[in-house]
Structure 1
Amino acid sequence: MLTTMLVVVVVLALAFDYTNGFHDAANAIASAVSTRALTLRAALALAAVMNLIGALLGTAVAVTVASGVIDTPVGDHGLRVVLAALVGATVWNLITWYFGLPSSSSHALIGGLVGAALASATNVHWSGVLIKVVVPMVVSPLVGLTLGYLVMTGIMWAFRNGNAHKVGRGMRRAQIVSASSLALGHGLQDAQKSMGVIVLALVIGGQQVGFHVPFWVVVACALALAAGTYAGGLRIMRTLGRRIFHLTPPHGLAAELAASSVLYLTAFVFAAPISTTHVITSAVMGVGATTRRSAVRWSVAADIAKGWVLTLPGSAAVAAATYGITALW
């Protein structure tokens, strides 16, 4: 029974990783497609490849997710907790995808873990949740907003005397690089969350000691994320690429450079599982504000922010209900 449950949890983790890919595909390519730097299919293929490469570059965030959020209750009970967390996160991903809201898959997973843990009387590492999740959740969008504004201001100053047509054409080409960089950062961050959950399940199931990430887990999560990314997420892409602010090539380049910088910093330096969605969305707002504050559709931004706030409790509630159902088995 334990082995079967473990297999189910691993499959669900990879399924979540896949939904993470198509839910968050818009993060890396919305601006590049919106500014016509890349065609849709070319952008999806590029994002999928860079997600795959990024997922192979580190495991520090995975260890944080595996060891820093909840205790590791051994046996069937513990695997039910992880299973419920994955269901909560996946359902939340599908709900927000349906409504075209760029919410955080990362926070959906953390919320799922916390909700399932509370429902099962499993200890939650609240200090770890606060320091590694809540604080970065608040700070990273502010950094993305500020950095997007500053990078865009620098680009405007550097090319203030340039030919608008030539500058636009050059920026479109540069966006291929910046979109690739953002997709790499997305793979580096987001694939590791599923890796962490699988490692947590392996420890709970008695298949390994310690929270190191086996190579097969890295490869499986990388492939699942890349496949999901290539499937695309057009509903959310429209929100990011058009509804918040009408992006031009310089704006898209600035937003992607700002967001990818934040992703690399948090993954390599702080090992914190931040949201790619939060960072790129706030960076888009920041670059838009350099034109004029009224150019940004703040009402749309407010709707997105509501989704951000609801993600942790929403996914936690679904996970808690799922655990209650599984406890009846």
Structure 2
Amino acid sequence: MSTTLFIVVVVVVTALVFDFTNGFHDSSNAMATSVATGAFTPRRAVLIAAVLNVVGATLSTEVARTISHGMFDDALIQAAPEMVFAGLAGAILWNLATWLLGLPSSSSHALFGGLIGAVVVAAGFQGVHWGTVISKIMLPALIAPAVAAAASAVATWVSYRITGPTDKFGDKMFRNGQRISASMVALAHGTSDGQKTMGVITLVLIAAGYQEAGSAPYSWVVLAAGAAIGLGTYSGGWRIMRTMGKGLVHIDPPQGFAAETTSTVAILASSHLGFALSTTHICTGSILGTGIGRGAKVSWGTFGKMGAAWLITLPCAAVVGAVTSFIAVKGGVIGTIGVIVLLLLSALLIIRQANHNKVDFSNVNDADKVVVAKQTDPELGRPPRSLEQVKAELVGTSPSDRGTGALV
């Protein structure tokens, strides 16, 4: 196996690993609100989101083209495809770190930051097309959450004009509606985030001479990326789902429906235009807007932490990508193997730390905070529950009359 082919294989595998982390990191984007309101059981929610993420990833390639043909100078990357691997490693490490903290930061910005840092170190600032970065990534990142929050606030206000806070029939209708709206968010998420890994793989295939410049992603790339993000979504990402569903604002079915509908429209529109923006930013903005539209209490402290994570994600991922790029590019094959070992060890340490206070489908709605330290969370003192017990609690019924609940 030639050195170039080895690097290409490493990049493809690492890109699919990133896609997996993207799936579990962002599964809350589609389903946190529907799980919080009881429209879906946690297990059913992630299964539906996983399937629709795969379907969505096959519907469009506009975002993939932005990444593979618009962000970087292909000629410079061709000289050192290791930098693409290094950027992916930086993005994976950042995704795992923010998942541990339960922070819904942007997987997209982690990817872009990691790649930008890696390219700058290996090829210089001229390797990045800064105009594309600003117009397709930075500006949408500032505008999209604000627009989503405003639209969601209006939609929530209208929803509560249709039904009152104590209207049980209206509450049930909106909860049923959430099953459609949340599913649409999952589909839209696939059309956006599923394409980003396709773009990265296509970028390195072009750089290595295995694909013509300007061509669309191969079918096997589309299917592999869709499968990876679907499997990641099915794994749950419960830590971030808790923050999104419980930590920002209390959500009732009318709010959940408004947030999900707004997010769907915004994500699909951005995917059609080729904007590589963050679905996390859009969905968080929509959830925040529901609290404003209803006049409910918003946890501005939690939102402040989210906002801080948004601001530092791209530059921090860029720093990690720069370091891993220096090691991989300067060290050649040995350096690349060293980064792989570093990535594996870091991932194992993060996962081990997370298991000290594990969040899963049985306790995702028990609290609004994610505990990182090695201690017992007082809010999670009760033993793990079965899926049937969780389902009964979500619909507010006892085990004896579960059959009357509206949850599926």
Establish whether TM, by shorter chain, passes 0.5.
Answer: yes
Give the whole-Å Cα distance in 2 for the aligned partners of 1:252 and 1:158.
15
Partner of 2:372: none
**TM superposition shift of 1:76:** 6.7
Partner of 1:257: 261
Secondary structure, aligned partner of 2:104? coil
**Do 1:44 and 1:232's aligned partners in 2 also have CA atoms closer than 8 Å?**
yes
Give the whole-Å Cα distance in 2 for the aligned partners of 1:2 and 1:16.
21
Give the whole-Å Cα distance in 2 for the aligned partners of 1:163 and 1:275.
35
Is residue 2:172 matched to residue 1:172? no
**Do 1:51 and 1:185's aligned partners in 2 also have CA atoms closer than 8 Å?**
yes
Where in structure 2 are the equivalents of 1:53-68 lying within 5 Å?
A: 53-68=55-70
State the AA in 1 paired with 2:17: A
Give the whole-Å Cα distance in 1 for the aligned partners of 2:227 and 2:14.
14
Partner of 1:106: 108
Give the whole-Å Cα distance in 1 for the aligned partners of 2:304 and 2:79.
39
**Do 1:74 and 1:206's aligned partners in 2 also have CA atoms closer than 8 Å?**
no
Give the whole-Å Cα distance in 1 for the aligned partners of 2:294 and 2:217.
45
Give the whole-Å Cα distance in 2 for the aligned partners of 1:76 and 1:111.
19
**TM superposition shift of 1:100:** 0.4
Where in structure 2 are the equivalents of 1:43-192 lying within 5 Å?
A: 43-73=45-75, 77-122=79-124, 123-160=127-164, 164-192=167-195
Partner of 2:19: 17
What TM-score, normalized by structure 1, do the two folds share?
0.97
**Cα deviations across residues 65-113 of structure 1 (Å, max 9, x unaligned)?**
1111111136774311101110011111001101000001111111111
Give the whole-Å Cα distance in 1 for the aligned partners of 2:37 and 2:12.
38
Secondary structure, aligned partner of 2:72? coil
Gaps of 5+ in 1: none
Give the whole-Å Cα distance in 2 for the aligned partners of 1:228 and 1:320.
26
Give the whole-Å Cα distance in 1 for the aligned partners of 2:77 and 2:293.
54
Q: 2:252 aligns with which of 248, 255, 262?
A: 248
Partner of 1:328: 331
Partner of 2:37: 35
Percent of aligned positions that are identical: 40
Gaps of 5+ in 2: 333-408
Larger Rg: 2
Structure 2 vs 1, CA of residues 243 and 172 (structure 1 numbering), >3 Å: closer, same or farther? same
RMSD (Å) for aligned C-alpha atoms:
1.3
**TM superposition shift of 1:159:** 2.7
Partner of 1:203: 206
**Do 2:59 and 2:191's aligned partners in 1 also have CA atoms closer than 8 Å?**
yes
Q: 2:321 aligns with which of 316, 319, 322?
A: 319
- What is the aligned length? 326
Partner of 2:234: 230
Give the whole-Å Cα distance in 2 for the aligned partners of 1:142 and 1:169.
29
Secondary structure, aligned partner of 1:290? helix
**Cα deviations across residues 278-328 of structure 1 (Å, max 9, x unaligned)?**
0011111101012226x1111110110000000100110000000111112
Higher RCO structure, 1 or 2 (CA under 8 Å, sep 6+):
1
Give the whole-Å Cα distance in 1 for the aligned partners of 2:316 and 2:84.
17
State the AA in 2 paired with 1:271: G
Give the whole-Å Cα distance in 1 for the aligned partners of 2:286 and 2:54.
24
Give the whole-Å Cα distance in 2 for the aligned partners of 1:67 and 1:113.
14
**Do 1:28 and 1:182's aligned partners in 2 also have CA atoms closer than 8 Å?**
yes
Give the whole-Å Cα distance in 2 for the aligned partners of 1:290 and 1:64.
35
What TM-score, normalized by structure 2, do the two folds share?
0.78
More divergent stretch after superposition (284-293 vs 88-97): 284-293
Structure 2 vs 1, CA of residues 75 and 144 (structure 1 numbering), >3 Å: closer, same or farther? closer
**TM superposition shift of 1:157:** 1.8
Secondary structure, aligned partner of 1:120? helix
Give the whole-Å Cα distance in 2 for the aligned partners of 1:248 and 1:75.
49
**Do 2:11 and 2:85's aligned partners in 1 also have CA atoms closer than 8 Å?**
yes
More divergent stretch after superposition (117-126 vs 61-70): 117-126
